A and B are shown apart, each in its own frame.
Chain A
Amino acid sequence: MKVVLSHLTKIYPSRTKGGKPVRAVDDFTFEIPDGKLIGLLGPSGCGKSTTLNLISGLETPTDGKIYFGDTDVTGLPPEKRGVGLVFQNYALYPHLTVRENIRFPLENFRGKDKLTNEEMDRRALEAAKLVQIDGLMERKPAQMSGGQQQRVAIARALVKMPRVLLLDEPLSNLDARLRLQTREELRRIQNETGITTVFVTHDQEEAMSISDMIVVMEKGVVRQIGAPQEVYDDPKNLFVAKFLGTPPINVFRGSVKAGRLMIGSEAVLDIKGVPDGDITVGIRPEGFVLNENGRFTCDLTRVEVMGRDTSVVSTHKCMEGVSVRSIIPSEDKVKSGRTVRFDLKPAKVHLFDAKTGERVYYEVAK
């Protein structure tokens, strides 16, 4: 089932008297393709959870439409939309066993949809098998680990065969190791069921690793939509560039003078197609190449050995933030000294308008 969001807007009245109303979601238009896993990504307060609530029907949009397939569901209450919902805290009923929790949505069926007891048990077991907790059917939620509880919550959301599965920060309550494991599990379950899934997260690594597409939001506005690698390699603006990637992109105040990209007094790249003036330069950590005669000089702080590769921490007078972090292959040895010099990989150097933060495209001059 594809999900279409068309000019979706949600405005909350101001909490304080005379304050400005809050645009939690602002003119969100996107078609979620059938059977895909979509990651809604952004810092807290960016409107990603509100978007999820709009899709589930728990919130009604101020403006815009939502379609499931070709049906307009904008005015439909949540119980008629046939969505499955999973929360960060799982929201499992603590007094019911795993079996009873998973059966709960099925027991709500009325009239011609009503299921027999055996049918409900069969379907509950099927859903439990899918998330691999069929051995724990008689446990209470409190007797299980966070990861197991999250699987039960997913099984409960899947058992009624929802048209859309919605996950609100599904992994945030898990510890690092379980989070890795559960996110792979999530990907597998989604692949097996083929249910269109939207999940919300503030963790860019999580979103990038399992999503077919990610939507990056800021202050209610969609900043970029695309496949994870595409968004990472080709950010449309400084916000997206800064939000994606660990370690984050290094940002410098630079300028363009007669076809040369200047950071401080050094011309670090020869470029074409950008008029002279101030510009914001973003360089991915992997965009640095160690070179004793390189064109870009930084003040060396320390070298962190990480085994697979080496992280060089340095500073530069034109940088934003506290340090410049570059990642180089571990074979490249940094000579101790006060400075370190790099060449830059043009594909990893992005330019942004110094005022608006929008991406400025350039060509490399030969």
Chain B
Amino acid sequence: MKNNLKGWLYLLPAIVFLAVFMVYPLIDVFIYSVEEGYNSASQTYFGVGLFNFNYVLRDPYFLQAVKNTLILVVITVPLSTGLALLISLGLSSIKKLQDLFQTIYFLPYVTNTLAVGLVFMILFKPTAYSEGLVNLLINFFGGRSVDFIDGPYWAKMFVLCFYTIWIVMPFKILILTSALASVNRDYYKVAQVDATPSWRVFTKITLPMISPMIFYLVITGFIGAFKAYSDAVALFGTNLNAAGMNTIVGYVYDMLYGDSGGYPSYASAAALVLFAIVLTITTVNLLVSKKNAHY
């Protein structure tokens, strides 16, 4: 009993910290989400119910945000992981200048999001003075200029996905190159002596060996993409609803602090919807990985 007490004492700092900064806000969010007509100035509400969810789920801005986020997730997670795997395989098969290339591929990771956004603006945004580098390229190949920042939806989505993939890849490359490097060379020697074709070496040896890392990247990639917000702001500015490029997290932020903000109840409801989506997807991911990854 005495030992037990001591144990709890050791845990106390962490528990207090978690309780104040995680558990309490979570409960608070849940409470906000069911309080109807909550007014943050007067701290009053008229009743308890699911009205906030009802409102959020019918809000065209929210539905647009969900659509944007889903497209972003579905496109960027597989694409960035696949590309990162290809680049890592390339990196680990070259000997000369490997460190140099590794550093170059890692640069985007240490670059500020907004600075990268600025660079993308220069690449994609037509201004009074210039068409933007990408448009110049399109023109060169005989295409017509596209406004990637204020133009059609698909063009804006393309830039957002491009940007997201570009920004998440360095970390994935870093993880995958070290995963590839940690595969024992003896497996490859035995496989070579046994005349194993290279595609078979890849699918039967390399891929299973690094599968835990791939699943880790996919799961964290899904969660990260669902929480996308700053990338969209860096490209399209703060008024994302007007640009039609809002994300779920962006919607939550707007409901709290945006020009039309001041609705913590709607924000909480939207946040809980996001939570439910992420929880479902992650559970599915974990179930799939348990079946397929070899630890």
Residues on A facing B (Cβ under 8 Å): 56-58, 78-81, 83-85, 87, 89, 91, 93-95, 104-105, 107-108, 110, 156, 160
| Residues of chain B contacted by A79 (CB below 8 angstroms) | 192-196
Closest partner residue, chain A, to B186 (CB atom): A91
Q: Measured between alpha carbons, how far is A173 from B240 in the docked complex, in Å? A: 62
Interface stretch (choices B17-25, B170-178, B197-205): B197-205
- CB of A93 within 8 A of CB of B205, answer yes
Asked whether any CB of chain A lies closer than 8 Å to the CB of B294, the reply is yes
CB contacts between A and B, total, < 8 Å:
53
Given contacts A93-B204, A94-B294, whether A105 and B194 have CB atoms under 8 Å apart is: yes
Whole-angstrom distance between the Cβ of B239 and the nearest chain A Cβ: 50
Closest partner residue, chain A, to B197 (CB atom): A108
| Residues of chain B contacted by A105 (CB below 8 angstroms) | 194-196
Known: A91-B190, A95-B209. 6 other contacts (CB 8 A): A58-B189, A79-B195, A93-B205, A93-B208, A104-B204, A108-B196
- CB of A78 within 8 A of CB of B193, answer yes
Can you name 22 A-B pairs with beta carbons within 8 Å? Answer: A56-B189, A56-B193, A57-B193, A78-B193, A79-B192, A79-B196, A80-B195, A83-B193, A85-B189, A85-B193, A89-B184, A89-B186, A91-B186, A93-B204, A93-B205, A95-B208, A95-B209, A104-B194, A104-B204, A105-B194, A108-B194, A108-B195
Contact-residue bracket for chain B = 10 to 19
- CB of B192 within 8 A of CB of A58, answer yes
| Residues of chain A contacted by B195 (CB below 8 angstroms) | 79-80, 105, 108
- CB of A160 within 8 A of CB of B294, answer no
| Residues of chain A contacted by B158 (CB below 8 angstroms) | none
Asked whether any CB of chain A lies closer than 8 Å to the CB of B187, the reply is yes
Whole-angstrom distance between the Cβ of A331 and the nearest chain B Cβ: 51
Whole-angstrom distance between the Cβ of A156 and the nearest chain B Cβ: 8
- CB of A93 within 8 A of CB of B194, answer no
Given contacts A79-B195, A108-B195, whether A91 and B187 have CB atoms under 8 Å apart is: yes
| Residues of chain B contacted by A94 (CB below 8 angstroms) | 294
- CB of A87 within 8 A of CB of B186, answer yes
Given contacts A79-B195, A95-B294, whether A87 and B190 have CB atoms under 8 Å apart is: yes
**From A81, A91, A95, A107, contact of B184 by CB (8 A):** A91
| Residues of chain A contacted by B196 (CB below 8 angstroms) | 79, 104-105, 108
Whole-angstrom distance between the Cβ of B206 and the nearest chain A Cβ: 11
Closest partner residue, chain A, to B185 (CB atom): A91
Given contacts A91-B187, A108-B200, whether A78 and B192 have CB atoms under 8 Å apart is: yes
Q: Measured between alpha carbons, how far is A341 from B190 in the docked complex, in Å? A: 56
Closest partner residue, chain B, to A109 (CB atom): B195
Whole-angstrom distance between the Cβ of B188 and the nearest chain A Cβ: 9
Closest partner residue, chain A, to B201 (CB atom): A108
| Residues of chain A contacted by B209 (CB below 8 angstroms) | 95
| Residues of chain A contacted by B197 (CB below 8 angstroms) | 108, 110
Q: Measured between alpha carbons, how far is A57 from B200 in the docked complex, in Å? A: 20
Q: Measured between alpha carbons, how far is A89 from B200 in the docked complex, in Å? A: 22
**From B190, B200, B205, B294, contact of A85 by CB (8 A):** B190
| Residues of chain B contacted by A110 (CB below 8 angstroms) | 197
Whole-angstrom distance between the Cβ of A43 and the nearest chain B Cβ: 22
Q: Measured between alpha carbons, how far is A93 from B209 in the docked complex, in Å? A: 9
| Residues of chain A contacted by B189 (CB below 8 angstroms) | 56, 58, 85, 87, 91
Q: Which of B217-241 contact A (CB under 8 A)?
A: none
| Residues of chain B contacted by A89 (CB below 8 angstroms) | 184, 186
| Residues of chain A contacted by B294 (CB below 8 angstroms) | 94-95
| Residues of chain B contacted by A87 (CB below 8 angstroms) | 186, 189-190
Closest partner residue, chain A, to B192 (CB atom): A78
